[in-house]
């Protein structure tokens, strides 16, 4: 059985061992100069600077969050700081 601790954004087994590292993801509704809408983790300080953002969901990786963001915006990219493995431009 898996329990999710939303405060720590991590799933735990019955024995208390972390089994999945899930994060809350958001996309900035305001595009950057190059047209990208950046995807951020909830904990990212750059997300705090976004005046408008859309909740994407609770994912174990940024690739899934990017795919969800692409259903909202055509041009998306991962934040260089919190979603570096998904950052392209």
Contact indicator for 27, 64 with CB cutoff of 8 Å:
no
In the numeric block, which tokens belong to residue 48? Answer: 């705090």
Residue-wise pLDDT tens digits, 43-70: 999 999 999 999 999 999 999 999 999 9
Quote the pLDDT of residue 18.
Answer: 57
Residue 89's pLDDT band, with cuts at 50, 70 and 90, is: confident
How do strand 18-20 and strand 23-28 relate by DSSP bridges? unpaired
Q: Which of 21, 28, 25 is nearest to 58 (CA)?
A: 25
Least confident of 1-5, 15-19, 35-39, 67-71: 1-5
d(CA 34, CA 58): 27
Q: Where are the domains of the chain?
A: 24-86
């Amino acid at each position: 059985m898996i329990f999710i601790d939303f405060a720590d954004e991590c799933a735990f087994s019955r024995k208390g061992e972390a089994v999945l590292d899930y994060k809350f993801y958001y996309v900035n509704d305001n595009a950057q100069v190059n047209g990208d809408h950046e995807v951020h983790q909830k904990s990212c300080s750059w997300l705090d600077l976004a005046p408008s953002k859309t909740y994407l969901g609770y994912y174990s990786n940024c690739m899934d969050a990017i795919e969800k963001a692409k259903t909202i915006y055509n041009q998306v990219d991962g934040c260089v700081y919190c979603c570096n493995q998904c950052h392209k431009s």
